[in-house]
Amino acid sequence: MSPSTPAEQPRCPSRVAIVTGGSRGIGLGICKGLVEDSVAVAIVYQGNHQAARLAAAELQAMGGRVLTIQADLSRRAEAARAVEAVAREWARIDILVNNAGVFQFAFLEELDEAFLERMLHTNFGSMVWMIQCTLPWLKKAEHARVINASSISGRLADVGLIAYGSSKAGVDMLTRIASAELAPYGITVNAYAPGIIATEMTREMIESRGNEQVKQIPVGKFGTAEQAASVVRWLCSPGADYVTGEVIGVDGGMLKVQNPYRAHEFARRGG
């Protein structure tokens, strides 16, 4: 854990966010957006210490107040420890962004207990534990937010993604039910569902079959971490007070229509 609160700043910032998986990719993009909105950010990461250090340094260079915490959030005790560290440092939590997740292909015949448990516990279970553990603090906050990372794979069945797709479908249901359960406390709960975003997590897939995948995206290109992060940044803002229970696609229209490449072919022929 490495806090970076300048001595001249007050101990308790005006808003505090926990971003799981915040050291790379979309998570780091989310942290940058929150720092630009003067939100103090606690990055919870699983094991890549170098990535966490680099992320913290980059956010500090932007003037951000940053805390880094290593934890395995698939275990409730670890989630509780991470939340306690943030509360001890800043005495408040206003925003929880459940961004941490793992992505890996495995066919049904290849699944074993360790793979399935890792996928479900990391992508779904960690979100349950983090919401539970932050809830006492979120109940005290004004404009309290929970934002979960879903995926188009939670709604679009894809061969080889039984474990991953099922975990993300669970995230969608968690988001909807939690939005109702937490509404009496003024807490909104939403999710963002990325399509194919060009990050380290998706690099292998894009390299192996990207030429075919991009044909299924109406806008004709893969998304960026910054584009996905901008949706989360808005959901964290006071302007999103009346939005809850939503799973917002950030997919370039990928789930909206079949065979969009035909429109591109028609346009190239001059319409």
* Residue that the structure tokens 């630009």 belong to: 36
Contacts of 40 (CB under 8 A, 6+ apart): 13, 15, 16, 17, 64, 65, 66, 67, 90
Straight-line distance from the first to the last Cα atom of the chain, in angstroms, rounded to the nearest whole number: 58
Alpha-carbon Rg for the chain in angstroms: 19
* Residue that the structure tokens 């794979």 belong to: 153
Q: Which of 164, 192, 242, 261 is catalytic?
A: 164
CA 203 – CA 181 distance, rounded (Å):
37
Q: What are phi and psi of 43, to 5 degrees?
A: -90, 125
Q: Are 5 and 207 in contact (CB under 8 A)?
A: no
CA 73 – CA 57 distance, rounded (Å):
23
Q: Is 45 a catalytic residue?
A: no
Active site residues: 164
